[in-house]
Structure formats: C-alpha cells, structure tokens
Amino acid sequence: MSLIKEYPISIFNSLTKEKEVFEPLIKDKVGMYVCGPTVYSDVHLGNVRTFMSFDIVFRYLKYLGYAVRYVRNITDVGHLVGDADEGEDKIAKKARLEELEPMEVVQKYTNGFHAVMRMFNIQEPSIEPTATGHIIEQIEFIKTIIGNGYAYETDGSVYFDVRKYHQDHEYGKLSGRNIDDMLSNTRTLSGQDQKRDPLDFALWKRADAGHLMQWPSPWGNGFPGWHLECSVMSTKYLGTTFDIHAGGMDLKFPHHEAEIAQNQGCCSKGGARYWMHANMLTVEGRKMAKSEGNGFTPEQLLTGNHKLLERGYSAMTVRFFMLMSHYASTLDFSNESLQAAEKGYKRLMVALKLSEKLPEPGTGKMDKEQSKDFKAPIDKAFTDLSNDFNTAKAIASLFDMASKINIIYQDPKKAASIDPKDFDWSIMHFQGIIKDVLGLHDETQEEGGMQVLDGVMKMVMELRKQAKFSKDYALSDQIRDDLKAKGVQIKDEKDGGMSYTID
C-alpha cells in the first residue's frame, strides 16, 4: 500500500534555499539524476558518502510507493585535471601513465566503483549512461545552444557565453555567487585567449592529433566539456524538466551552475526542479580527497590498513556511521565515532532479530492508547525520513522502537493489549525501514555462515589428508576436483598441510 499521501516529503531545495513540499511532475513518479564518478581512480570513502546519501533518497521514495527512474552517469571523458577547461583529461592521463587504452582505464575503475557500491549495499540506478556513449547527443545540444545565441566557436572549440546568458537569465543562482561582481572583476582577456570572458566554459574542446580521446564534430575533431554530459543525459532520459538533481556540495559551482545554464540555453527550461547537495566527509575538518592524501579506499577501511585507522571496520558499520548524520551536514571521520557506530549497528541488529520472534499481540483486552504508543516511534521514523531524509533522527526513532521490542520480548504479557493491526504495521515497517530504506543487513549472520563453511572445509581437508595417507589417490583427487568444480580451490602446502580459497 502506498504511503505517499500519509508521509508527504519535504526537501531542502538548494536552488531556492528553502525546504519545500515535494510534488513530482507526474503523480507518483519521480525522475532523479545524480552525478556519478569520474572513473580514473579508485573511489574513496568521501565519494561513497555522496552516493549513499542519494541511495537513501532512491530507496525511501520507492518504499513510500513512488515509481522512480534513477539516472546516475559515468564520466568517462571531458573531466580535465584541475576541474576547469585547461589541462589533460583525467582518464587520458591515467591511460598514458599506465600505458593502457583509455577505455581499459574506464572499465577497470567502473568495475571497481560497482564493487564498492555493492559492498556498501548501494543500489544500482535504473540507467547508468556514459559520456562517451552520448557524443552525438552532446554535439546536437551544442548546436542548439549556438543557434540560440548562448555559445560561440573559436578555433575548433565551443564556449558557453556566460555574459550573454546572464543578460537574459540568472547565472549564479544555485551557488549564490554574485556573477555581476565576478564579471566586472575578471581580468580582460588578451587577444590570444579563446574565451571572450574567463567565466565562459567549454562545451567542446578542439583536440590535437595526439589527443587520445576525440570525435569528429562540425567544429573539427575534439571532445565534450565536462559539464555538458549531465545536461544532455538528464534531459534525454528524464525530460527537459524533471524532478530531482543531486550531487556532492563541491559540484554546485561550476558544474551544476553550468548545467542549469546549458539546459536553459538549449531548451529554455532549467532541468531539475529540486536540487539536492550532499555535504562532505571530512578528516580532521578537511575534505576527504585523493589529492589531500587523506582519502582511504573501502578496502583499506575493511582491513584497517591505513595510518588513519586504528583497526578495520565492516561495511555495515560504515553505512550505519554515515546514516547517523544528516546528508546536508559535514561528517567528520574518526575511529571513535566508527566504534560508537559499530555498537549502535549491533544493537539495532539484535532488535531486528528479536522482532522476528515476538509473541502474539492482542490476546487480551485491547488498549487504544497502548497500541498508539507502540506505533509512535515508527510513525515518527517516517516523519523524520519525509523531513528531508533525516536518517539521523529516524535512527533515533528506530532505537525507541528497539526498546519497546525488547520490553515485549522480555515480558510477552505486554503484547496482549496491543491491537494486532498496529503491532504488525509497526514490526513490518521497523524491519522494512532498517532493511529496505536504510539498507542495513545483519553481517553477523554472514559471518556465522562463513564459520560453518570453514568448519566443513577443515573436515573435508582432513578426509583428503587421510585418503592420501592411505595412498587412496583416486579419492583424494576426486575430492580436489569436485571442490574445484564448485569454485573451491584446495592447495597442498609444503609442510603436508592444506589450505583453501574460494573463487
């Protein structure tokens, strides 16, 4: 049953700087676009935070009953070192340094990104388009912007004319920058510069013969500017006006500001109606970033193999740690807060397990007040989540529910006065919010499964050892081969022992 009407969502809209009631363009349907990664290096935990924040939005919208089309792109061309219009393409640079094809770099880090998303139980989007897969659409988009008078060509490159655009529209609205000041303060360009104004940004860049990634265009061989792909792919899959556009706070300017201008410049519509920005994961107050040397990878986090880590932490502990703060606040990484999160996560998992073993409700005289009181924390958790996806508050409400579950588990008589309808509703959504909205699952059960497997494998290896000892090589080989067929490799060690690995 749909909960859309019961728990109306409000979103802090970065465009209007106000919390607004969320009304999708089409009833009960949502189109959402999130800027994806530039796949030239391993993702770090900061990137994970941003994608997790919008995973919650995706999951919660679906949980309430919306049909969601979620588009999250892969940037595989056009993002230059330095994030502006000069310098080498990040992917081409990596390809040159590692002597790989650019598409090998793209594949390697796209695979890595997907593995990390799976590790943290971040769901796949509905569409994951790539910039290189939409070169034709990007060229068409540029042609329309030029036709509308908001872009110009110089020497094989095409630039967006910010000054011209700002005469008709408001450039800087999203990021809150005073563009009039910026335009009057910027240095005058010398005749050698290709841009008319330093604020102008590239829609298309001319490529020299040696440039690794280039395509033919009406302006000669080149490649698209970084901001363009998101305008093009969001409008292609979601329309010229759509519901939600999201990304990390650091993308507000120039990336998202440029996107809005491109959309207006091409289609006379600004694209998204609600803009959401996730705040940064910091380490000792500084943004986690590769360039800062404070960005550890998820693998390092699990193993504890990094100077910032006292020990390893599980993926679900990290997920819980991130959800303990609201997406719009900065989140500072520390070993203490991860250890606190680990305790909280385990407590919630205990309550989740108990919630499956509760006594029958409503066996005695039903009490309206008590039933209402039992429901209250879940009702509150929905209100928290509908209030700009406040996972921090929702987790506090879930802990209130966990206490109630604990009490009933200890004293089953207390379930007797609760209306079974309210009881079942509360337990169903307690489990649903934890598993489906927050995306938390019980790792201890998986660990338990691994322990059982390990015990069984030790037994099998012992049997094989005995077979070898009694010179029954046919049996020992058969055990080895059968296990291999099932994806388990047994290795004979020099000291006569055995070990195993799972493919």
Q: Which residues contact ligand AMP by CB under 6 A?
A: 35, 37-38, 46-47, 49-50, 247-248, 250-251, 280-281, 287-289
Near Zn ion by CB under 5 A, which window of 35-43, 123-131, 196-204, 339-347?
35-43
The pattern of x and - marking residues 230 through 259 that bind Zn ion according to CB under 5 A reads x-----------------------------
**Under the criterion CB under 5 A, does residue 32 sit at the interface with Zn ion?**
no
Residue with Cβ nearer Zn ion (145 or 318): 145
Query: Of the two residues 197 and 259, which places its CB atom closer to ligand AMP in the complex?
Result: 259
Q: Classify 231 in phi/psi space as left (phi over 0), alpha (psi -120 to 50) or beta.
A: alpha
Minimum Å gap between C-beta 286 and ligand AMP is 9
Helices 391-410 and 335-354, axial angle in degrees (round to 10): 40
Could you give the CA distance from residue 402 to residue 3 in angstroms, rounded to a whole number?
22
Instruction: Give the interface segment with Zn ion, choosing from 228-236, 266-274, 292-300, 320-328 (CB under 5 A).
Output: 228-236
Q: Identify any residues that bridge with 282 across adjacent strands, giving them in sequence order.
A: 287, 332
CB of 30 vs ligand AMP, minimal distance in Å: 19
User: What's the min distance (Å) between Cβ of 295 and ligand AMP?
Assistant: 7
Return the number of the residue (230 or 434) whose C-beta is nearest Zn ion. Answer: 230
Distance in angstroms (rounded) separating the CA atoms of residues 406 and 409: 5
For the bound state, the minimum distance from the C-beta of residue 293 to ligand AMP, rounded and expressed in Å, comes to 13
Residue 183 binding partner per list ligand AMP, Zn ion, none, with a CB distance cut-off of 5 to 8 Å that depends on partner kind: none
Residue 439 and residue 122: Cα distance in Å, rounded? 8
281: partner contacted, choices ligand AMP, Zn ion, none (Cβ within 5-8 A by kind): ligand AMP
Integer Cα distance of 316 and 342 in angstroms: 8
CA nearest neighbour of 325 among 106, 49, 99, 112: 49
What angle do helix axes 473-485 and 443-469 make, rounded to 10 degrees? 160
When the beta carbons of 118 and 343 are compared against ligand AMP, the nearer one is 118
Least distance (Å) between residue 276 CB and Zn ion: 13
Instruction: From the list ligand AMP, Zn ion, none, pick the one residue 199 interacts with, judged by a Cβ distance below 5 to 8 Å according to partner type.
Output: none
User: In this complex, which beta carbon is closest to Zn ion, that of residue 160 or of residue 345?
Assistant: 160
For every residue of 340-361, which 3-state class applies, written as one string? HHHHHHHHHHHHHHHCCCCCCC
CB of 289 to ligand AMP, least distance (A): 6
The partner in contact with residue 288, picked from Zn ion, ligand AMP, none with C-beta cut-offs of 5 to 8 angstroms by kind, is ligand AMP
Q: Return the number of the residue (231 or 300) whose C-beta is nearest Zn ion.
A: 231
Nearer to Zn ion, 203 or 230 (CB): 230
- Listed residue (348, 145, 351) closest to 263, CA to CA: 145
Structure-block tokens of residue 124: 């796949």
For residue 14, what are the CA distances in angstroms to 241, 274, 304, 362, 418? Answer: 16, 7, 36, 47, 43
Q: Which residue has the tokens 């407590």?
A: 347
Q: Where do we find the tokens 């070192």? A: 81
Site string (184-223) toward Zn ion, x via CB under 5 A: ----------------------------------------
Q: Are 202 and 85 in contact (CB under 8 A)?
A: yes
Computed on alpha carbons and rounded to an integer, the radius of gyration of the chain in Å comes to 27
Choose the contact partner of 230 out of ligand AMP, Zn ion, none; CB within 5 to 8 A by kind: Zn ion
- How many residues make up the chain in this entry? 503
Please enumerate in sequence order all residues whose Cβ is within 8 A of that of 230, keeping only pairs 6 or more positions apart, or say none. Answer: 33, 35, 73, 255, 259
Size of interface with Zn ion, in residues (CB under 5 A) = 2
Question: Looking at beta carbons only, is 253 or 425 nearer to ligand AMP?
Answer: 253
**C-beta nearest to ligand AMP: residue:** 248
Candidate ranges 33-41, 52-60, 437-445, 450-458; the one touching Zn ion (CB under 5 A): 33-41
Contacted by 298, from ligand AMP, Zn ion, none: CB < 5 to 8 Å by type:
none
DSSP H/E element including 291: none
50 binds, among ligand AMP, Zn ion, none (CB under 5 to 8 A by kind): ligand AMP
CA dihedral 36, 42, 46, 47 (to 10 degrees): 10
Nearer residue to ligand AMP within complex by CB, 205 or 287: 287
Residues lying near Zn ion in the complex (CB under 5 A)? 35, 230
